[in-house]
């Protein structure tokens, strides 16, 4: 399927967006993906969604790299976002694990359940799911985790609504039979 809004072709983005792309690549050593090129139709949405990067760094400081990745993946899976789920599948596989055969400690599973519940339930999390998170993390840490989950969900919604195509470099990491979008 064709995306509902095509990515801005390289070299055709507005000058302020091109400058933002350059800053983003330099600051985060990141690619300008299909999603970012689609956001590149307007500077403000691009900048808003790129707040994901510093929030993710905060999540990694709290959870560590592996659990932060799994947290983002659990959110993306719960919102059924093929693009973001595949992005994190790649990270899991590149780290030497299989997304279908993860070994996760019970305490870490509670964190993943929290993220998945937020994605599935539009942020409404049952007390039984929240309690283990409350016991493990400070108020500040829960705020960071929750804010990150919100921007992850927003990213998933954007990609699902626009039908952002999965980038070529991610194709080998898709689930068998997975469609690009919608």
CATH number of 64-173: 1.20.1290.10
Q: Which residues lie closer than 8 Å to 57 by C-beta, 6 or more apart?
A: none
C-alpha distance from residue 45 to each of 3, 31, 36, 40 (Å) = 18, 17, 9, 8
Q: What are the mean pLDDT values of the chain's consecutive 10-residue runs (182 residues total)?
A: 93 97 97 98 98 98 98 98 97 96 97 98 95 98 98 98 97 80 47
Domain segments of the chain: what residues?
11-50, 64-173
What pLDDT score was predicted for residue 177?
74
What pLDDT score was predicted for residue 69?
98
Compute the distance between CA of residue 74 and CA of residue 116 in angstroms, rounded to an integer.
5
% helix / strand / coil in the chain, to the nearest 5? 70, 0, 30
What pLDDT score was predicted for residue 180?
52
| Contact in structure between 165 and 180 (CB atoms under 8 Å) | yes
Would you give the end-to-end CA distance of the chain in angstroms?
A: 8
């Amino acid at each position: 399927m064709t995306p509902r809004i095509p990515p801005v072709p390289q070299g055709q983005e507005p000058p302020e967006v091109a400058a933002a792309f350059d800053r983003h690549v330099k600051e985060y050593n990141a690619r300008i993906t299909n999603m970012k090129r689609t956001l590149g139709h307007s500077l403000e949405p691009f900048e808003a969604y790129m707040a994901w990067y510093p929030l993710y760094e905060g999540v990694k400081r709290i959870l560590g790299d592996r659990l932060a990745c799994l947290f983002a993946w659990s959110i993306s899976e719960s919102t059924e976002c093929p693009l973001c789920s595949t992005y994190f599948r790649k990270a899991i596989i590149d780290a030497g694990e299989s997304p279908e055969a993860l070994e996760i400690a019970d305490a870490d599973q509670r964190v993943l359940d929290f993220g998945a519940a937020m994605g599935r339930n539009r942020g409404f999390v049952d007390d039984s799911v929240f309690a283990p998170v409350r016991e493990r993390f400070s108020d500040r840490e829960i705020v960071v985790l929750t804010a990150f989950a919100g921007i992850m969900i927003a990213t998933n919604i954007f990609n699902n609504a626009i039908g952002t195509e999965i980038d070529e470099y991610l194709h080998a990491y898709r689930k068998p039979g997975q469609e690009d979008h919608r």
